[in-house]
Amino acid sequence: LDLYGSSVCISNAHMAAHLEQNEIRIQEYYAIMESQRFPGCKAGTILEHDYIFWIGDLNFRLDPIEYDLVMSSIAEGRFQKLLEFDQLKEAQREGLAFPGFSEGDITFQPTYKFDKGTNVYDTSEKQRKPGWCDRILWRARPGA
């Protein structure tokens, strides 16, 4: 997309689900980055765009942290503490995925996984840990 002389890329992805699929999610990030080409555009790849917005159910979870600690941290509003265990934040810190991408401050409780039609976190036998799976990231090319 060319917008007033700047190239803009909007990518939407639904990445692999489940806590243990973190490595797959990172592989999916690279597969998307390597496979997407924009013939005829001044930005031939995603990273060549001036501005990139990456949105979707990225499915990164909280790990390693125990369920009870997640729940007590939510009850006490300690979201920044939980983000220390966020797989996406960790992948960014380690340079494994989404390097240079920014995200707005997360100042709200996790949005995954509620019992259907309620605001009660997963009470099924799986008792999945809450997390922030739906994300909006952005990146501006230096000098853009």
- Inform me whether the pLDDT recorded for 104 exceeds 90: yes
Copy the structure tokens of residue 10: 């909007």
Q: Is 79 strand, coil or helix?
A: helix
Which residues neighbour 66 within 8 Å (Cβ) at sequence distance 6 or greater? Answer: none
Rounded to an integer, what distance in angstroms lies between the CA atom of residue 135 and that of residue 133? 6
Q: What is the mean pLDDT of residues 34-41?
A: 94
pTM comes to 0.93
Using an 8 Å Cβ cutoff, are 42 and 125 in contact? Answer: no
Q: Quick one: pLDDT at residue 142? A: 84
- Inform me whether the pLDDT recorded for 81 exceeds 90: yes
Q: Quick one: pLDDT at residue 22? A: 98
Using an 8 Å Cβ cutoff, are 25 and 58 in contact? Answer: yes
Tens digits of residue pLDDT in 57-79: 999 999 999 999 999 999 999 99
